[in-house]
Amino acid sequence: MTVASCPACVAIPEERIAKIAADQGRKLAFAMPDVHCAGCIGTVEKGAMGLDGVKSARLNLTLKRLYVDADPELSEQIIDQLASVGHVALPLDSDTLQSGSDPAGRKLLLRLGVAFFAMMNVMLLSISVWAGAEGETRNFLHWISAFIALPTVAFAAVPFFTSGWAALRHAKLNMDVPISLAILLATALSLFETWVGGAEAYFDAALSLTFFLLLGRYLNHRTRMAARSAALELAALEVKTALLKGAETKAVPIADLKQGDIVLVQPGMAVPVDGTVVSGTSDLNKSLLTGETLPEAVAPGASVYSGTLNLTGPLEIEITGDTNDTVLRQITELVSLAEAAKSRYTGLAERAAAIYAPVVHLVAFAGFVGWYLATGDIRHSLNIAVAVLIITCPCALGLAVPAVMTATVSRLFQAGVLVKDGTAIERLAEVQAVVFDKTGTLTKGEAELELQTDRDRLSLAAGLAAASAHPLSKAVVLAARERGVQPAEVSGISEVAGKGIAGVLKGQPIRLGRAEWLGTEAETGRGVQSWLQLGDAPAVPLFFTDPPRSDAAQTVADLKNTGLPVSMLSGDRAEVAEPLAKKLGIATVAASVLPEAKLRIIEAQGDKTLMVGDGLNDAAAMSGAFVSIAPASAIDATRATADLILLGNNLTEIPRAIRLARQARARVLENFSIAAIYNLVAIPLALLGYASPLAAAIAMSSSSILVSLNALRLLRSKT
């Protein structure tokens, strides 16, 4: 095992290091898609800690992820324990999540720190030279600067050297080619002047170039790497083991299963494979895959898919296909392909660099040739070429976009919007249409009992529902609690998987469940409903709604006022989706849409589309959209897919973010104009010999600061 070489780390004994490694291996991770408030933190953590063998439990509410210090064998027991306190837990593969670390970002930050430290020290030495140091004193200061600058450039400027060399090997030019040349030539010329005892050396210029350019590179990297790949999150969401039925039931890796095997899925567990139910009845929560709010009853012969959640009864499922070709895996592949397609977007800085790089080389080369032909002095001609390269070095251009984006990211974060992708703001400014998912995005994503429900009926229903973990039962219990209705005292309660709940009230049978189970017909056009029957009396309905968010209508209106058409895609049924769309003022609706169909609709739309969604069934469409936004209540995989996240779940921030993105784009174009004007003035001065490499470095730094100050204006703007 390799140990870091800091004194504190070296002092740690080997046995302690081994224990730390062993403890890290005991960490279990679970996705908690339904946690939403501070109260959930206490409930979940106390629930997990109530299990013997659990050392610690910590819930990250922002990530909706629970970390538990326990033996891996306790994973299923933890899931059952959390289900008993009312929360769904989905196992995540810790190794998969850890593979998404960012070593490149750490290396870049280290190079930035080294460049800054060296630049400041060399500048302090340069002050003495500028103050009039001469002779041996000046030479000594130059040599000290050389000993600081040479290893620093060799270490800190590696990203530019490797990128520039890679471009040259393929006979191409990119922004890093003139950058690398400017740094190398400034360093080489300074070393030569120091060697021959010249009056000037430009190590500070080389280090200033390196620092400012690394700063822009790091800012850009941080906006790109704010979150790991959505495909990685989806891979971590996949169930890694299943309970295989045989002479004895045992947990085996999914990879060891084959077609025809029978797996057992207990209530509260995620279905690990695609297959057919051969034994048992239950309700499945398919909202992760389809967005359908109402759980689906399944019985022998029904097809089930990985990624759905078993709610009420144990199921035995026969594997009917390849375990590597599940619906969840197909969604993962759709996301990966869509992400790759979106990554082909070329940012403004990249487009500018394609024109800028060859022009810089031609101007510098022309300056060198012209002065050599005019004077025959190769040393003076090389000074002119280096000055041109430094003064035209694209520091301002390199900072033009990152500086604005960093200011915009800060402003959006203050407003409760997290930006994850480097080009997301540029793309958001170009949006021409907005598409919303329904469940959990425009609506609260939770069933609520209609307010006009009779209190006596609610009391009877709550007496039964208190014994069930079904989403509709939870809605009944919550409604009774909020309205101060005392649940009836029902005895002998039993849950019939996939059908409902039965019990006895004052000697009479009482049942709550599906219409067909109670011998009646569901009312059409009323959305989600459950039925209650006492004794021989006719069954009476309880109607449920998934109410819209309080800010949904205002958000839609604001977007339409900005000239953006708004539409809605939903996996829910048309009779549920269309009334909501009409209520919110959305004219275009597509209902009962599966994940792959959502992606096809987004791709066929052709416009630069903004997709807003929260479920796994939205992940592929959001990856394929021009830009995407997810509320904080979205599941982990969908938040990883999104380019922006609404931390406060406030939809009205979406039109505000679009307006700010358009302002940011305007600032970027202003910065390009500043860089262009600066070059139009500075390049002739350098070509005519009025700017030494040191003066060029000062001018370059000034333009970079000016660009950064212009970007900071965004922090004071009003949207």
Which of 641, 662, 683 terminates a domain? The answer is 662
At 336 the pLDDT is 56
pTM higher than 0.85 for the full model? no
Mean pLDDT by 10 residues, the chain (719 residues): 36 38 56 67 85 85 75 80 78 54 76 90 78 77 90 90 80 73 82 80 79 73 49 54 81 82 83 86 72 73 81 85 65 54 51 65 80 83 77 62 72 76 80 89 82 84 86 87 89 84 91 88 76 90 86 92 90 82 89 83 83 82 86 71 77 90 84 77 81 67 70 66
Give the CATH number, domain containing residue 67.
3.30.70.100
589 and 526 fall within a common domain: no
> What CATH number is associated with residue 517?
3.40.1110.10
Sheet holding 540-545, edge to edge: 448-449, 540-545, 529-534, 508-513, 500-505, 491-496
Nearest Cα to Cα of residue 363 among 696, 698, 671: 696
Same domain? For 453 and 537 the reply is yes
Question: Which residues are known catalytic residues?
Answer: 437
pLDDT at 65: 76
Residue 135 confidence (pLDDT) = 74
Domain membership of residue 340 (yes or no) is no
Question: What are the residues facing 66 on neighbouring strands?
Answer: 30, 59
Is 332 domain-assigned?
A: no
Does one domain contain both 590 and 518? no
Among 267, 295, 325, identify where a domain stops.
325
Work out whether strand 65-69 and strand 56-60 pair parallel, antiparallel, or are unpaired.
antiparallel
Domain residue limits at 644 = 417-445+549-662
> What pLDDT does residue 565 have?
92
CB 498 within 8 A of CB 517: no
Claim to verify: residue 440 and residue 502 sit in the same structural domain: no
Q: Distance between the two ends of the chain, CA-based, in angstroms?
A: 53
Please say whether the beta carbons of 505 and 287 come within 8 A: no
Does residue 308 lie in a domain region?
Answer: yes
| Shared-domain flag, residues 532 and 557 | no
Number of domains forming the structure of the chain: 4
Alpha helix (H) ranges present in 451-538?
Answer: 455-465, 471-482
One domain, residues 437 and 553 = yes
92, 123, 143: which is the final residue of a domain?
92
Residue 90: Cβ-neighbour burial (10 angstroms; 0-12, 13-18, 19+): buried
In this structure, the answer to whether residues 439 and 507 fall within a common structural domain is no
Is residue 525 in a domain? yes
Let me know whether 616 and 556 are in one domain: yes
Q: How far apart are CA 278 and CA 485, in angstroms?
A: 41
Same domain, 431 and 580: yes
Handedness of CA 214, 219, 220, 221 (dihedral sign): positive
pLDDT at 344: 47
- Residue 149 falls within a domain, yes or no? no
Q: What is the CATH number of the domain that holds 279?
A: 2.70.150.10
